[in-house]
Structure 1
Amino acid sequence: MKSKGYLRFYNRLVYFDVDLEVVDVLLHNRNLLAGKNKIFKHICQRCHPNLHSHTNTPLARQKVIQHLRKTIYISFIKDLYEEVTEYFRYILKQGAKSIPQKGRLVGDIKLTFNANEILIASSHDEIIESVTNKLFQELESQKNTTLLIKQINSKLGLNICESLQTEAMPYLLLRHIFVHSDGKPDRNFKASYGSMFSLDAKGRISLQKQHLNEAKSKVDALITAFDQAMIEKNYFEQAELQH
């Protein structure tokens, strides 16, 4: 049994996988796409001015598609993190509806609402969603992914195995590095995870397919554990569960 939130997360991983497979197919079939006079078939100067200027060689095709692959690999890491945070927003909302000790969910975090935000809410569910969205924003504003996951685990009382969090963490931290540091890891990341990733000539993390496979595996294991713990504690409404 899985929650709708988990199934959304998992299905989006499958969509990301398709992107990875497409770029892999393009790379392996790059020379089948060669035009007679241009780098690829069906290139026109008006629609593809940059590709139009490339030389028509196997090496040029390889470089262009490898750059696309690199872009998609980085996008995968960024999107994976966004899907994880979307899932955590989801379980916070579900927990707020069901958790017996609702006060522990917010704890000592101060959330501010103006009167209109309360008055315009059309239902109790909308108020819960507004509260949990602000709660998540406060947690995420600490800019500490490790702490974010630990706090959600603690606030919901899920007792998720720490090893699952530890194993997923380097792949979730990668998103921050690519978004804020142009792919260049800081000293702390190198000290903790430097042996897992190689750097290119410019000091940027060089993502490989094996990294993405590990990221999917470790992060999915973490989210699955959260989902199962939520189910065991009866924090999901029946309408949110699917076999």
Structure 2
Amino acid sequence: MNRAARFDGDIEFVDVVYAAVRAGDLTCTNEVLFARIDPSLHPRLAAQKPTDDNRVHVAAHLRKSVWASYIKDLYEDFSEYLAEIVRASRGGFRPERITGSHTVSVDAREILDCGSWDGVVELVTDSVFRRLSGLSNTKRIVQALSDLLGLEIDAGLVEAAQPYVELRHLLVHTDGVASRAFCDSFPEFGAHEGEGIKLTADTVRNARSAITELVEHIDRRAIEAGLILDNDMQ
């Protein structure tokens, strides 16, 4: 989860800035919003009325923006990780590992061109993994990995990470405005349909913890199954 990890310092810094603003450390005079404001470089800030409420509002908005970016990047890292797991699993995959029912569509000519049973197995395996790579729903990808390879991924860990995957989608597509489905599925967020979802430091910490725990669990299960090597772990 490298990209999200680089945000850790940013998360801490905006918290320092927010605390400094609330303490008045960045206020040198009541003539301007913050010290060091240059109207030619910072016209929006220079135009704001220099009140304590406005100062805190600006700092809070910055902090929320960084939190939202963190959750978005956490998701992007997780998506890239899943894609890498799919690729790595393909390299160490053995056909007898396929569990459950998996429907694939292949042309009769492709089967005839295989020339051998091993060729048919390779064709089917390629088709299964192409389908897996083409999935866009994160939960379905994890479930498909578990079902296809018999990894027995802990459903509880998947469920724990799911709220933050859905939160990311809302941050990207609706600027964090809650949908009815989100409110119904994750009442613990206290969100209201049509209103912005409240982000807190705990939201960010919980997102990082839930997704990291799921990644480490998938790594362990894939290593135990012999699909990836220890040095392939994220």
Q: Tell me, yes or no, whether TM beats 0.5.
A: yes
CA contact (8 A) 1:89 1:132 kept: no
Identify the residue that residue 60 of structure 1 maps to in structure 2.
Answer: 54
Query: Partner of 2:25: helix, strand, or coil?
Result: helix
By how many angstroms is 1:53 displaced?
1.1
Structure 2 vs 1, CA of residues 200 and 15 (structure 1 numbering), >3 Å: closer, same or farther?
Answer: farther
Amino acid at match of 1:189: F
Structure ranking higher on relative contact order (CA contacts 8 Å, 6+ apart) = 1
Residue 138 of structure 2 is aligned to residue 139 of structure 1: no
Tell me the CA shift for residue 228 of structure 1: 0.9
SS at match of 2:6: helix
Q: Does 1:166 align with 2:162?
A: no
Q: How does 1:1-243 map to 2 (within 5 A)?
A: 9=1, 11-30=2-21, 31-36=24-29, 37-101=31-95, 104=98, 108=103, 135=131, 138-140=134-136, 144-194=137-187, 196-199=188-191, 203-237=195-229, 240=232
**Cα displacement string for residues 46-89 of structure 1 (whole angstroms, at most 9, x for unaligned residues):** 21111111222322210101011111121122111111101001
- Inter-partner Cα distance in structure 2 for 1:213 and 1:56: 33
5+ residue gaps, structure 1, are 1-8, 112-130
Aligned residues: 210
Question: Residues 158 and 81 (structure 1 numbering): CA distance in 2 closer, same or farther, change over 3 Å?
Answer: same
Specify the structure having the higher radius of gyration (Cα): 2
**Aligned AA for 2:221?**
A
CA distance in 1 between counterparts of 2:74 and 2:129 reads: 19
Question: What is the deviation of 1:41?
Answer: 2.0
Residues 1:188 and 1:201: Cα distance change in structure 2 (over 3 Å) = closer
Q: How far does the alpha carbon of each residue in 1:202-241 deviate from its partner, in whole angstroms, 9 at most, with x for none?
A: 6121111111111111111111100111221222246535
Q: Counterparts of 1:133 and 1:46 in 2: how far apart (Å)?
A: 56
Cα deviation, 1:174-224, whole Å, max 9, x if unaligned, reads 111222233223222222212x11337961211111111111111111111
What is the CA–CA distance in structure 1 between the aligned matches of 2:63 and 2:86, rounded to whole Å? Answer: 35
Structure 1 CA distance for aligned equivalents of residues 193 and 229 of structure 2: 51
Render the CA deviation track for 1:152-186: whole Å, top value 9, x for unaligned.
Answer: 32233321111111111111111112222332232
- The answer as to whether partners of 2:14 and 2:62 remain within 8 angstroms in 1 is yes
Change (3 A) 1:133 1:58: farther
What RMSD, in angstroms, separates the aligned Cα atoms of the two structures?
Answer: 2.9
Superposed displacement of residue 21, structure 1: 0.9
Kindly indicate whether the alpha-carbon contact (under 8 Å) linking 2:153 and 2:217 is maintained by their aligned counterparts in 1.
yes
| Secondary structure of residue in 2 paired with 1:91 | helix
Contact 1:44 1:52 in 2 (8 A): yes
Greater shift, 183-192 or 61-70, is seen at: 183-192
Q: Cα 1:162–1:199, aligned 2, differ >3 Å: closer, same or farther? A: closer
Alpha-carbon distance in structure 1 between the residues aligned to 2:164 and 2:71: 7
